[in-house]
């Protein structure tokens, strides 16, 4: 393979990575906890878009349980959107593991 061809391939991969990174920002993942009593939607930029809490989950006598459900749902949503982003980066790099991308 000559250097020009390698440079073209590197530029193509760079463009694909930039496109993938923009797509990742708009990805969303939803997770629930407590049998669906808490629902969280996270975005690919690792922000929480929304949290929905079923009023039945609100027990003033047991705030700890609600806090645990919220944490569990947030963590799962962030893990899911991170996995989606990693998969998209994998597509863009042809499966090459490039440190620091995700």
Q: 55 pLDDT band (50/70/90 cuts)?
A: very high
Distance CA 13, CA 7 (A): 10
- 1: tokens are 């393979």
- From residue 37, how far is each of 1, 33, 48, 65, 66 by CA, in Å? 57, 6, 17, 11, 9
Residues 51-58: what's their mean pLDDT? 96
Mean pLDDT over 82-99 rounds to 83
Q: Residue 69 is part of which domain span? A: 3-92
**pLDDT grade for 19, boundaries at 50, 70 and 90:** very high
36 occurs within a structural domain: yes
Identify the CA nearest to 30 among candidates 72, 68, 73: 73
Distance CA 81, CA 91 (A): 15
pLDDT for 98 equals: 66
Q: What is the CATH number of the domain that holds 69?
A: 3.30.1310.10
- Report the domain count for the chain: 1
Asked whether residue 99 is domain-assigned, the answer is no
């Amino acid at each position: 393979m000559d250097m020009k061809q390698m440079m073209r391939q590197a530029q193509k991969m760079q463009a694909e990575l930039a496109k993938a990174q923009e797509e990742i920002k708009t990805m969303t993942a939803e997770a629930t906890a407590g049998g669906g009593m808490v629902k969280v939607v996270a975005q690919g930029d690792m922000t929480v878009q929304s949290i929905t809490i079923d009023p039945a989950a609100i027990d003033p006598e047991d705030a700890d349980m609600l806090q645990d459900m919220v944490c569990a749902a947030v963590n799962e949503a962030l893990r899911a959107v991170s996995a989606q982003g990693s998969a998209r980066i994998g597509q863009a790099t042809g499966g090459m593991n490039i440190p620091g991308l995700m």
